Structure 1
Amino acid sequence: MIRTELPSENGETQQLVFALTVEEAAKVARVSRSTIYLALRSGTLTARKAGRRTIICPSDLQRFIDGLPLFPGRASEGGE
């Protein structure tokens, strides 16, 4: 499960988030913004619009990551 907490500006406290911007989703998932936009265009990641802002629910980001192919090699449980 993806942790839906992001570090604050000073790095001390964390806050629970219910929606992520494209930039935040990329940071949380440890992928590039381009990867997020490609996934949105291909339909493998779902987003919503709030005015002009594109927002991604953490559960949608989790489904996207769960759907990524496993690294070839020795199989591991839970993708770890």
Structure 2
Amino acid sequence: MSTKIAGGKVELAIKPCLSIADLVELGPLSRAGWFNAIRDGRVTARKLGSRTVVLREDYERFLRGLPIARSARAAA
């Protein structure tokens, strides 16, 4: 696996852990939304020194756990 560097930063696609700023960039929540999700236990966060990080697998688990959107037409 090759490490891709863009502007001196490791691309988000290959980072094993994500900072809150990374999560905001990836979406779908704001900074406050991510901290609320962590506080409510909807996503698992870890401390790396003073930084709060989320493992990529926990971020993906959070996304997979979101409800599936249904169209109004499908509900009829």
Fold-level match, TM-score > 0.5? Answer: yes
For 1:66 and 1:60, locate their aligned partners in 2 and report how far apart those are by CA, in whole Å: 10
1:31 is paired with a residue whose SS is coil
Aligned CA distance change for structure 1 residues 7 and 24 (closer, same or farther; 3 Å): farther
Deviation at residue 61 of structure 1 after TM alignment: 0.3
Which residue identity is paired with 1:20? Answer: L
- Larger Rg computed on CA atoms: 2
**1:19 pairs with 17, 23, 35, which one?**
17
Scaled by the length of structure 2, the TM-score of the pair is 0.71
User: How many residues in Structure 1 have an aligned counterpart in Structure 2?
Assistant: 68
Bigger share in helix: 2
For the aligned residue pairs, the C-alpha RMSD in angstroms reads 2.7
Extract structure 1 runs of 4+ deviating beyond 4 A.
none
Identity level (%): 29
1:38 is paired with a residue whose SS is helix
Scaled by the length of structure 1, the TM-score of the pair is 0.68
- 1:33 maps to 31
Q: Which runs of 5+ in 1 are unaligned?
A: 1-5, 76-80
**2:46 pairs with 45, 48, 57, which one?**
48
1:56 is paired with a residue whose SS is strand
**2:59 pairs with 42, 53, 61, which one?**
61
